[in-house]
Copies of this chain bind each other. A is one copy, B any other.
Amino acid sequence: MTFSRPVEDEVDRLVAAWKQERPDLDVTPLEVLSRVSRLSRHLERERRAAFASHDIESWEFDVLTALRRAGEPYELSPGALLRATLVTSGTMTNRIDRLAAAGLVTRRPDPEDRRGVLVRLTPAGMHRVDTAFADLLRRERELLAGLEQHEQQALAALLRTLLVPFDTSDGAAH
């Protein structure tokens, strides 16, 4: 059995400072949520660096992977894409415009709903995303190397509990 050494991260210091300044408040929620926010920020930087070598940007990747995951014929509506990526509709329109200009997706009217359009991955987009994704997974595995398999599973399960309420009630962007 290994005992955890007193290794501190920035959040430990942050919480200690609050206890000093506002001993009347219970700041334990920060132990979890502040770490989530900060880790996410660090991850975003890592992603950006990882993608730089593949000539792809973070936001492009998010959209292309959603289409890639959808499977044949790699086609989704803008609405489905914005729900998958947690951005607003204006943002998604803009993203699709730029991806189409880059030849990574095409846009065509939905034959079954004349309000809608369908966004489809091109072969070029497919190749781009598959290459970048493999590399991303490799780098992410390294970031998790500090945790045992079972710890990763436990962490995933705990995070899922927090996430379910958001993903159940419609967390759709407008």
Is A114 among interface residues, defined by CB-CB distance under 8 A? no
How distant is the Cα of A158 from the Cα of B154 in the complex, in angstroms? 9
How distant is the Cα of A137 from the Cα of B160 in the complex, in angstroms? 21
Is A37 among interface residues, defined by CB-CB distance under 8 A? yes
User: In the complex, what's the smallest C-beta–C-beta distance from A148 to chain B, in angstroms?
Assistant: 10
Identify the stretch in A48-56, A100-108, A165-173 within 8 Å (CB) of chain B at 4 or more residues.
A165-173
How distant is the Cα of A113 from the Cα of B22 in the complex, in angstroms? 31
Which residue of B10, B33, B155, B166 is within 8 Å of A163 (Cβ)? Answer: B10
In the complex, the answer to whether A28 meets B152 with C-beta atoms within 8 Å is yes
Contacts of A38 in B (CB 8 A): 86, 163, 166
Q: A28-B152, A137-B27, A166-B42 known; A35 and B143 CB under 8 Å?
A: no
Which residues of A1-60 have CB atoms within 8 Å of chain B's CB atoms? Answer: 4, 7-12, 14, 17-18, 20-22, 25-33, 35-44
Which residue of B21, B32, B70, B161 is within 8 Å of A159 (Cβ)? Answer: B32
Q: Could you tell me which A residues sit within 8 Å of B by CB distance? A: 4, 7-12, 14, 17-18, 20-22, 25-33, 35-44, 68-71, 84, 86, 130, 133-134, 137, 140-141, 143-144, 146-147, 151-168, 171
